[in-house]
Structure 1
């Protein structure tokens, strides 16, 4: 009984340490914990509770094992017998996997062969190895049937051919919806649908820096003939696609599809010469259409 009380006290101390540890950590590392959102905190809390339950269960199991052993010793003494401890569940499970013969029983599996005083034991393969061998045979049969007999699953060569066919189909689809546009084939379009789409993209993403009419704000004026990074359609598209990180313009190629960048490039072209009120002073170098053709 005294031992039992000692174990319970020890369990209480462990629980107290487990509970106060995270609290003291949170107090000393409050700035770090504050960065975690509610979901992350809940996940951490659940994991901590699970760990606590496992530790408590392991501790209680240890206590029960000790109590059972002490009770067995007491009963054996009362009967005047020697106490023989029962093997644990883990020991039984391990023995069932290995099939090892105890050293004290090895004389039962000694073979008649004698090589200069060296004798051989008739040990069989461990059960786990035998089970794995059988599992490999079953897997091989299933694999052979699925891949080589019925053709249910494709072989590596067939997988490659399927992947290439899908890539070609995706490429054709991209070309059909305009996503194959790049600096090498882009052209200004006067199609009202393209201009309307480009205006929508511009109003959603460009107005904050270039203003609604393109007169310029944080970013440069888009309605005059002066350009910081080139005024040809290829250069404008490239600027939109790759951005100007050192001046705060993000690479829109990571956000917009090529077709959308094509549309907004054409829309920006329509802003040229509109001379909106409050337009920003020219910046960059003068660009003319004539200079592009020469």
Structure 2
């Protein structure tokens, strides 16, 4: 009973020490720092502390319970007049099964005749865990050989490299085709595929400022003849690519590929003259390609 009381007293001391730490920490922290912490993080920390305390208490109670069972077994052995022999624990049995080590008191059974200056040699077996790993490595080697070198279902490193290079080569023409487009060589395209792609880009990125039909909102109207930065296909592409920072329009050249900017430029070009409802008032200067073409011909 005295030993049990000692264990219980130790448990109480441990709990007091564990609780004193968080309380002292909370008292020493400044109020501003505590207010800046996310409530969910504070709750998570408290839950972790409580879980740690519960685990420590459970572990300590398990030790006490084991001690009580051992004391009771010793008492009953004395009452029967027999010597108490403690049974090995589950961990001891597991460890013995892994190592297959011969106890020191039984080493004479595996001692060899070799004796070098008083150093004896024992005929110990290989540890089972080592043998199991060796057998597993043999199985792995057989499977590896079959999958990689016989069946060929899994590619070797050289084959993986060749596959990756082939995929890169297959995608290369598309990259070169898109990267060769700029405001100097862009032309209007009425290809339905190009216009459909341009509409998709417009709906995802331009509707917020220019509205769905191009009637204008935060940004200007795209359906009339008035343009702030030029209404030609090259002008539209240049405006999309470089943006208008002082007006709040970002440079889409950092976001969209040249081919996508080409598609949306052609789509915006088709919005001219559509006259949607609730169109925004004209902004900028009149831009008509017919007039510019005539002036260029007269020169």
Q: Shared fold by TM > 0.5? A: yes
CA contact (8 A) 2:74 2:84 kept: yes
3-state SS in 2 of match to 1:119:
strand
Q: Residues 263-292 of structure 1: CA distance to partner in whole angstroms, max 9, x if unpaired?
A: 21223445689997534458xxxxx999xx
Aligned length: 267
CA contact (8 A) 2:107 2:122 kept: yes
CA contact (8 A) 1:195 1:267 kept: yes
CA contact (8 A) 1:180 1:258 kept: no
Change (3 A) 1:192 1:152: closer
Counterparts of 2:274 and 2:227, CA distance in 1: 8
Equivalent position of 1:155 in the other structure: 156
Counterparts of 1:247 and 1:135, CA distance in 2: 64
**Mapped pair 1:239 → 2:212:** no
Gaps of 5+ in 1: 283-287
- How far off is 1:220 after superposition? 7.0
Gaps of 5+ in 2: 286-291
Equivalent position of 2:190 in the other structure: 190
Q: Residues 166-222 of structure 1: CA distance to partner in whole angstroms, max 9, x if unpaired?
A: 4445x28x84xx9952353654323456446534543543243356647673x5787
**Bigger shift: 92-101 or 271-280?**
271-280
CA contact (8 A) 2:195 2:264 kept: yes
CA contact (8 A) 2:148 2:154 kept: yes
Equivalent position of 2:97 in the other structure: 96
Change (3 A) 1:102 1:245: farther
Counterparts of 1:71 and 1:81, CA distance in 2: 14
Counterparts of 1:161 and 1:83, CA distance in 2: 71
Q: Compute the TM-score of the two structures, normalised by the length of structure 2.
A: 0.62
Equivalent position of 2:288 in the other structure: none
Q: Residues 49-108 of structure 1: CA distance to partner in whole angstroms, max 9, x if unpaired?
A: 987886666455434322221111211222344433222111111111122223333333
Equivalent position of 1:206 in the other structure: 206
CA contact (8 A) 1:198 1:260 kept: yes
Counterparts of 1:140 and 1:203, CA distance in 2: 55
3-state SS in 2 of match to 1:113:
strand
1:1-294 alignment, distance < 5 Å: 3=4, 32-34=37-39, 58-59=59-60, 61-169=62-170, 171=171, 175=174, 181-182=178-179, 184=181, 187-191=187-191, 194-195=194-195, 197-199=197-199, 201-210=201-210, 213=214, 217=218, 223-224=226-227, 226=229, 232=235, 235-236=238-239, 238-239=241-242, 247=248, 249=250, 251=252, 254=255, 260-269=260-269, 278-280=281-283
- How far off is 1:132 after superposition? 0.7
Change (3 A) 1:57 1:146: farther
- How far off is 1:126 after superposition? 1.7
CA contact (8 A) 1:237 1:262 kept: no
3-state SS in 1 of match to 2:178:
coil
Equivalent position of 1:285 in the other structure: none
CA contact (8 A) 1:179 1:259 kept: no
Structure with higher Rg: it is 2
Change (3 A) 1:258 1:149: same
Counterparts of 1:46 and 1:153, CA distance in 2: 47
